[in-house]
Structure 1
Amino acid sequence: MPGLKVLPSGRPGRGRLYVNRPDGLTVAWYDRQANRISVLADDQREAVLAVLRPYLSGDWTIGPPPVPSRAELRRLHLPPDQDLAPNRPGEALLGELAYGAPGGGRARHRMRRQLAASQRTGAELDLLEAEDWRVVHDVPLPGLGLLDHLLIGPPGVFALRTVPGRRQRAQVGDLLLTVGRGTPAPDPRWIRGAAARASRALASPVTPVLSLTDASRVEVAPSLRDVLVLQPPTLTATLRAVPPTLKPPDVEALFTAARMTSTWLGER
């Protein structure tokens, strides 16, 4: 079929190339992770192979699309306004700053600082999607507020709260976190509660994580053992080193549940 075009998937790291007709209709796709070509009509097989051949490697297979899993069917029927997956890091803060956040200039400055920290951590987490990880930003937790990031990958599920270090010393204890000479904040307690809430909602263990950005030095109390305290840019390297506990289908099933607003709004 003349005029077929090969286009990458919308989000990086998904491992798919789509073959589209000139009118935009998809006729096939190549899953680079599974090394499989799915063709919607068998009479288009040779044309699809012709345009995909430069991208093929190894022992690839070709055939009709596989039967979707239960998790994939739930995702396909998810209305856009109930899908958290498109959220950008700091999505809520972006909206508040764009439409006039209350509280004056000092409050807006704090929000911009928090947004920059969330975006830095989120950008690092998004890079893990190329390695079969999945991430959801700005997860609503009724009664607690927003969880900055929920990360799902082979080592398990991680709930992350981002804290700006402001180029000062940060001290993290069992219950409180202090940056510079600022007022101690209950971030360790908060992220424990958020991780517990996420664990109930997803029916899976969730590890609480504090991500401290731009701190000059981080001191962690030896007694703090249930909360990971990490810093960009070594954050992702530390998470990659955690032993795997989940298989790819488990990661996808948890991601499907995590991206649904109803998963969180029904959890108290």
Structure 2
Amino acid sequence: MSGLRVIPAWRHGQERLYVYGEDGTNIAWYDREASRVNLLRESSREAVLAALGPFVTGEFTVGPPPVPTPVELARLSLHPDDDLAPNRPGEALLIALDREPAAPRRLRTDPRRKDLAAQQRVGEALDALEPAGWRVLHSVPLPGGDRIHHLLIGPGGLFAVHVLPARRQRVRLSDPDPLLRRARTDASRASFALTAEVRAALILMDPASLELPPPPPRHVRVLPFTDLPALTHPAALLKPADVEALHAMSRDRSTWSHV
């Protein structure tokens, strides 16, 4: 067998080398973390090992892939249109701007672009937490047209993250404020959908100052973007298997259809 292609990819923060046949089908992959070549076609063993030769070092094992877990089976059974995992930060805004761009003679910057830039920066920071065991979904659609900007799932629990662009603004938040109410509502709807506790977080992007007069906002973590790491340092609440199960459930569009 000739003409095999080796393509690197990242999955759950770990690098894999996928081997594709001439017809474009995946026939094997090399898992660096496990030092194992997983063969989908035993008949292609020699050709696969030859193709991976320049990329593989040290000892490794070769054999069929491990039996998928129930979580992996659920993920594999998802129709691509129902899988929310590929959503980009600010997905809804990207689509809206593509369909209805701002008028070319508009004097002021389209406020949607400020919202998009803020969601993208927060999304990139949350994606960077994946090697530490966190999973994140972006732009989770809710009935009625609302969106959870980011859903963060990890060892410290679940967070519905709402993002506010506040560049050079002085922000003062106290109950009852519509932003705080929106953050709590998003978390409540997520808790109902996932039958698990989801906490609300409001992230402010580049505020000139942030004032939270007493008493503190109820059931909402309010943080400037620079303090975002503090959101992920509570005591460990979820085991890795729980994180993966909740992530698999969250990425299914049907999970959110009745909240």
1:264, CA displacement in angstroms?
A: 0.2
1:231 maps to amino acid: P
Q: How does 1:128-147 map to 2 (within 5 A)?
A: 128-143=129-144, 145-147=146-148
* Equivalent in the alignment of 2:244: 252
Moved more, 123-132 or 218-227: 218-227
Separation of aligned partners in 1, 2:78 and 2:117: 30
Contact 2:191 2:197 in 1 (8 A): yes
Residues 11 and 69 from structure 1, CA distance in 2 versus in 1: closer, same or farther, beyond 3 angstroms?
closer
* Equivalent in the alignment of 1:154: 155
Separation of aligned partners in 1, 2:256 and 2:99: 26
Residues 7 and 207 from structure 1, CA distance in 2 versus in 1: closer, same or farther, beyond 3 angstroms?
same
Separation of aligned partners in 1, 2:210 and 2:66: 48
Residues 64 and 221 from structure 1, CA distance in 2 versus in 1: closer, same or farther, beyond 3 angstroms?
farther
Separation of aligned partners in 2, 1:197 and 1:106: 38
* Equivalent in the alignment of 1:65: 65
Separation of aligned partners in 1, 2:198 and 2:213: 21
1:107, CA displacement in angstroms?
A: 9.2
The share of aligned pairs that are identical, in percent, is: 49
| Structure 1 residues 107-127: Cα deviation after superposition (integer angstroms, max 9, x where no partner) | 972211111111111111122
1:195, CA displacement in angstroms?
A: 0.7
Q: SS where residue 249 of structure 1 aligns?
A: helix
Separation of aligned partners in 2, 1:16 and 1:253: 22
* Equivalent in the alignment of 1:81: 81
Q: SS where residue 210 of structure 1 aligns?
A: strand
Is 1:187 aligned to 2:174, yes or no?
A: no
Contact 2:164 2:203 in 1 (8 A): yes
* Equivalent in the alignment of 1:229: 222
TM-score (norm 2): 0.85
Q: How does 1:1-268 map to 2 (within 5 A)?
A: 2-9=2-9, 13-52=13-52, 61-100=61-100, 105=106, 109-143=110-144, 145-176=146-177, 186-222=178-214, 223-224=216-217, 226-235=219-228, 237-267=229-259
* Equivalent in the alignment of 1:182: none
Residues 68 and 11 from structure 1, CA distance in 2 versus in 1: closer, same or farther, beyond 3 angstroms?
closer
Separation of aligned partners in 2, 1:251 and 1:264: 18
Contact 2:21 2:27 in 1 (8 A): yes
Residues 199 and 37 from structure 1, CA distance in 2 versus in 1: closer, same or farther, beyond 3 angstroms?
farther
TM-score (norm 1): 0.82
Moved more, 12-21 or 119-128: 12-21
